[in-house]
Chain A
Amino acid sequence: MAKRVILVDDSRAIVATAELALEGIINSGEIEFKSYLNPMELLEALQNGSENFDLLISDVNMPQLNGLDLSRQIKADARYATKPIIILTTESSNEMKMTGKEIGVTGWMVKPFSEDKLVKSIKMILGV
C-alpha cells in the first residue's frame, strides 16, 4: 500500500519542483503525494481527522504559520506524535536546527534540494 507523503510549502514553484522530483516513486505506486500551500489548512485537516500522513515535509518560512510551530502542534497531538517530519528550508542556522531537534522533527534538509537525495531520504524513512 502506498505511503502518504505530504508537502507543505507556500511556494507553488517549490511544490511543482518537488512533485517533479518525486514523479518516479509516485508513478510506481510507492508513495501518494499531497501538497498544501497553507499550513493552517493542513493543521485543520489533521485536527479534524480528514487528513493523515506517513511522512510530512514542511517549509519553515510561511506567512500564515511557521513550519516549526506547525511541527510543534502536530507533534503535540498523540495521533501524529511518532510520525516523521522533515524540514525542507533555506534556513540553515544552528539555532533553527536545534529548535527543530527539540520539537522532535526527524531531520533537516536545505533548499535548493538535490532531487536524488530527497527521493533517497523519503525511501529510507518510509522503507519503500
Chain B
Amino acid sequence: MRLKKRELQALSAKEALNPFNSDIRSFRTIFTIIDSESMMDFGMWLYEQCNTKESLACNKFDSIIELFYKLMSKAMKKGENVSIIIEESYEELYLTIKFNEAVVLTSDVIAILEKYGVAYIVQDAIFCIRLEKSLQAEAEEVKVPMVEEKVVQTIQEVHIEETPQMQEAVFREVRIVEGKEKDMLRQSFVNKTSAADYVDDIGGDVLDEILDLASLDEQWHEKLAIIEQQGTKESLVDFANNVLNVYVRALNNLFEFTALAYALSSLSAFIKDSAEVLSQDNKKLKTLAMLLEHLGTDLSSWREHIFVLQDTADIHYLDSSFFSSCMQIEGIISDKKLDVEDENDLEFF
C-alpha cells in the first residue's frame, strides 16, 4: 500500500540537474574530478554498479567509460575541474557532467554517442546521458544484422568427418565464454588513440607506477624458472600474488586498460585455484611456465610500445588478444575446451 501511495508522489523535492527527468529519487552521487585518480574512482564506481546490481546498462559499460574519459581528459587538459552527478529514477539513471564552460562535442565524442546509441542532452555547460536500468529493455533494441545469419548458415553446410581421436576430444569439459567476458573480448573502440596522445593525458604518478613494472620482468622470469624446475603450490601462489597481482593493481589505475587488468586478475585466480593440482603434475607445470613466459614477453613488449617508445597508433592493439591468450592458457592447463557462444567455428566465405 505504501508503494502504491508513493507512486503518486514526486520522488524528490530537489531540483533535478539532469535535463531528462525532473522526477528523480531523493539522493545523488557526486564525483569531483580533479585528477586521473578521481577519474579512476568514477570508473571503479561504475564498474562496481555493474558487478553488484544486475541492472544498469552494463552492456554499454566500455563505451560510457570511453566517452566520459575523453570528455574529462579534455577538460583537465584545459585545467578545468568538473563534477559528475548521478541521479536516478526507478527506471533510469542520469549521468551528468558539469563543466566550467559551455560544452562543445568533438567529432570523436559524437562518433561514440552515435555508435552506441547513447541518449544524451547538451545544455550550456552540462552534458548528460540517460541509461536504462533494465538490461532487458536495452537488449530488445539490439538488431541482428542479416550478414550474421548468412555466415551461420554457411557454417552449417560444412561437413567434417570426425576421426575417433576427434570424437574423443568432444567429451572434454567445456569452458563457456559469455556475458561480461565475451563483451570484453569483443569490445572495440571507435576512435584509435595513439600511445603518444594517451601518455600525454595520464598523470605522471600513474606513468611512474607503470614504468616501475619493468622491475617485475626479472621476478617474472625467476619465479617461472622455479615453477618449471620444481613447482610447488606455494611457488604458484607466490607468482600469482607477487607478480600477476602487482600488474593488476598498476593497471587498475588506468581506465583504458580494465580489460587487461581483468584478464590478468582472472589468470591469477585460476592459478591460485589450481595450484594444489598443478603442483602434482610436472608436465603441466612445464607447459604453464613456458606459456606464462611468452605471456610475460607479450606484456613487457606492450608496456614498451605504449609507455616507453609510444610508437603505436592504437593503444588497444593488445587488449582482446591478451585476454584471449589468458583464456587459451587456462583452457590448455585445465584441459577444458573453450566455447565462445558458438563462435569458434571456422566461417567459410
Contacts and interface: CB of A to CB of B under 8 A. Distances in A.
Contacts of B295: 12-13
A106 B154 CA distance: 12
B147 A12 contact: no
Nearest to B338: A112
Contacts of A24: 165
Interface string B127-159: 000000000000000000101100100000010
Nearest to B148: A94
Contacts of B323: 90
A13 B291 contact: yes
B60 interface: no
B317 A90 contact: no
Given A20-B287, A90-B185, A14 B349 contact: no
B321 A61 contact: yes
Interface in A50-100: 59, 61-63, 86, 89-94, 97-98, 100
B327 A112 contact: yes
Interface string B326-349: 011101100001111001111111
A95 B328 CA distance: 26
A10 to B, nearest CB: 8
B305 interface: yes
Contacts of B331: 112, 115
Contacts of B148: 94
A117 B337 CA distance: 10
A109 B347 CA distance: 6
B177 A112 contact: yes
A117 B158 CA distance: 12
Contacts of A107: 346-349
B14 interface: no
A91 B151 CA distance: 15
Contact of A101 (B169, B287, B340, B349): B349
B305 A13 contact: no
A16 interface: yes
Nearest to A24: B165
B290 interface: yes
B260 to A, nearest CB: 13
Interface string A4-30: 000000111111110010001000000
A124 B166 CA distance: 13
B188 interface: yes
Secondary structure of the B side of the interface?
helix
Contacts of B346: 86, 107-109, 117, 121
A19 to B, nearest CB: 10
Contact of A124 (B160, B298, B318, B329): B160
A17 B329 contact: yes
B249 interface: no
B43 to A, nearest CB: 22
Contacts of B12: none
A10 B145 CA distance: 31
Contacts of B348: 106-107
Nearest to B174: A114
A111 B345 CA distance: 10
Given A63-B305, A105-B349, A11 B337 contact: no
A61 B338 contact: no
Nearest to B339: A114
B22 interface: no
Given A13-B328, A112-B327, A114-B344, A94 B147 contact: yes
Closest 10 CB pairs between A and B? A90-B320, A12-B294, A13-B325, A111-B324, A121-B346, A114-B344, A101-B349, A13-B294, A112-B327, A17-B328
21 contacts: A11-B318, A11-B325, A12-B295, A13-B294, A13-B295, A13-B298, A13-B329, A14-B321, A17-B291, A61-B317, A63-B311, A90-B320, A94-B147, A105-B349, A109-B347, A111-B328, A112-B331, A116-B169, A116-B170, A117-B345, A124-B158
Interface of A: 10-17, 20, 24, 59, 61-63, 86, 89-94, 97-98, 100-101, 105-117, 119-121, 124
